[in-house]
């Protein structure tokens, strides 16, 4: 499985996820502005992968700045990177770590210190993904059919995957009979990326449109839902790809366990509930066009919220690298996710 993010000598290499599965092309980026643009246009996507990419972007800002005056351009780069996408909190958590290193480092050691920290952010996400995959797999019963939404896989994270990592790990353990992937409109991360990863891993996979989840739950056995998260509030409310909330309501109606798999870097203890999570509104053209062909009639207002919020009462358990929280609430999340899960603002 290719890497979504890699540091190579003096630059960042990103797998261009917009072109998958038709083309496996990489972008070599040498400035933090290029990294910011790549996050914005979703060359790289997935909450953990965004955080890692941004951390390397900060290193690039230091590398390309005048050696005698690195602080201002690096601070500016952090601000630009933080403004790329508003919902996934891993981005802010990674940038906070980089800012702390920036402020605590000697001038001569700055580039090396930032690169060390970015590599550590990366390694932490890899470690978290592996731990989450193992823990998540333990929730999946023998012979299971598991439904997932969007892509919380190897390419959404720095490696391993969260929700999809758990499904693949459980498959390797012989427990998964079938994975069901929603296509995930508008950008089709499910049809393009999740199916691509699952088929590569040999997992028997069924692709459905987002609108088929209810019918599948009514007419076939689905043992659990396993999704990722872009931000988790202190009370356990989960922001994830648009459509997640509807799946959670259907899961509740059908008695299907609904699991969220995400690193503690996704937990934002500064937000009391999901109501406070900013939901990114993306371009209308993502909805009105399909594969670059205009499909919708002209004239309507178009809504394109990229995420929605699933209230914690619909979440059976949250799987983090530090453990599984059943019926997650504020106290449990504070204990598990603090202090490294706390966003420093």
308 belongs to the binding site for a second copy (CB under 8 A): yes
Tokens of 190: 């499910």
Near a second copy in 247-276, by CB under 8 A: 249-250, 253
Q: How many chain residues bind a second copy (CB under 8 A)?
A: 59
Comparing CA positions, the residue from 47, 28, 7 lying closest to residue 277 is 47
Burial class (CB in 10 A: 0-12, 13-18, 19+), 24: exposed
Provide the minimum distance between the beta carbon of 202 and a second copy in the complex, in angstroms, as a whole number. 10
76 is annotated as an active-site residue: no
C-alpha distances in Å from residue 183, one per residue of 240, 241, 272, 288, 330: 15, 12, 32, 16, 32
Cis check for the bond before 186: say yes or no (omega within 30 of 0): yes
Binding residues for a second copy restricted to 6-35, rule: CB under 8 A: 20-22
Q: From CA 71, how far away is CA 103, in angstroms rounded?
A: 8
Residue from 23, 293, 339, 345 binding a second copy (CB under 8 A): 293
Nearer to a second copy, 1 or 37 (CB): 1
Hey, which residues between 106 and 145 contact a second copy (CB under 8 A)? none
Q: How far is the CB of 227 from a second copy (least distance, A)?
A: 12
Q: Toward a second copy, which CB reaches closer, 141 or 305? A: 305
CA distance 191 to 184: 7
Applying CB under 8 A, among 68, 104, 106, 298 the residue interacting with a second copy is 298
For residue 138, give the H/E element and its range.
helix 110-139
Which two structure tokens, joined as six digits, stand for 133?
Answer: 């995959």
Listed ranges 37-45, 56-64, 159-167, 178-186: which one lies at the site for a second copy (CB under 8 A) = 178-186
d(CA 16, CA 27): 6
| Closest listed residue to residue 55, CA positions, set 158, 127, 159, 132 | 158
Measuring CA to CA, which residue among 23, 305, 41, 45 is closest to residue 190? Answer: 45
To the nearest whole angstrom, how small is the minimum distance from the Cβ of residue 336 to a second copy? 26
Residues in contact with a second copy, shown as a per-residue x/- string from 181 to 220 under the rule CB under 8 A? xxxxxx-x--xxx-xx-xx----xxxxxxxxxxxxx-x--
Q: Binding residue for a second copy (CB under 8 A) from 23, 106, 108, 301?
A: 301
Tell me: does residue 175 bind a second copy (CB under 8 A).
no
Q: Which of 230, 237, 268, 308 is catalytic?
A: 230
Positions touching a second copy (CB under 8 A) are 20-22, 181-186, 188, 191-193, 195-196, 198-199, 204-216, 218, 242-243, 245-246, 249-250, 253, 279, 287-288, 290-305, 308-309
Active site residue ranges = 230
């Amino acid at each position: 499985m290719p890497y979504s993010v890699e540091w190579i000598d003096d630059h960042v290499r990103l797998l261009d996820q917009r072109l998958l599965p038709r083309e496996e092309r990489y972008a070599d980026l040498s400035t933090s502005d290029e990294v910011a643009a790549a996050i914005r246009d979703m060359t790289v996507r997935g909450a953990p992968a965004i955080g890692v990419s941004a951390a390397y972007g900060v290193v690039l800002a230091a590398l390309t700045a005048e050696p005698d005056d690195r602080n201002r351009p690096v601070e500016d780069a952090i601000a630009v990177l933080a403004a790329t996408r508003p919902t996934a909190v891993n981005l802010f958590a990674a940038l906070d770590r980089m800012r702390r290193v920036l402020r605590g480092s000697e001038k001569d050691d700055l580039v090396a210190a930032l690169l060390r920290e970015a590599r550590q952010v990366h390694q932490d996400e890899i470690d978290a993904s592996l731990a989450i995959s193992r823990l998540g797999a333990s929730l999946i019963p023998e012979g299971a059919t598991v439904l997932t939404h969007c892509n919380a896989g190897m390419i959404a994270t720095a490696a391993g995957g969260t929700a999809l990592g758990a499904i693949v790990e459980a498959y390797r353990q012989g427990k998964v009979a079938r994975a069901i992937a929603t296509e995930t409109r508008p950008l089709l991360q499910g049809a393009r990326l999740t199916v691509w990863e699952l088929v590569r891993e040999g997992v028997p996979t069924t692709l459905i449109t987002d609108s088929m989840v209810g019918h599948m739950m009514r007419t076939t056995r689905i043992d659990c839902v396993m999704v990722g998260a872009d931000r988790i509030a202190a009370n356990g409310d989960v922001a994830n790809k648009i459509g997640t909330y509807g799946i959670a309501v259907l899961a509740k109606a059908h008695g299907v366990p609904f699991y969220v798999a995400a690193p503690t870097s996704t937990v934002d203890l500064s937000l009391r509930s999901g109501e406070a999570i900013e939901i990114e509104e993306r371009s209308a053209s993502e909805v009105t066009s399909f594969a670059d062909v205009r499909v919708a009639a002209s004239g309507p207002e178009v809504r394109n919220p990229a995420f929605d919020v699933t209230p914690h009462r619909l979440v059976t358990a949250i799987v983090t690298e530090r453990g599984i929280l059943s019926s997650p609430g504020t106290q449990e999340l504070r204990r598990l996710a603090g202090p490294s899960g706390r966003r420093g603002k």
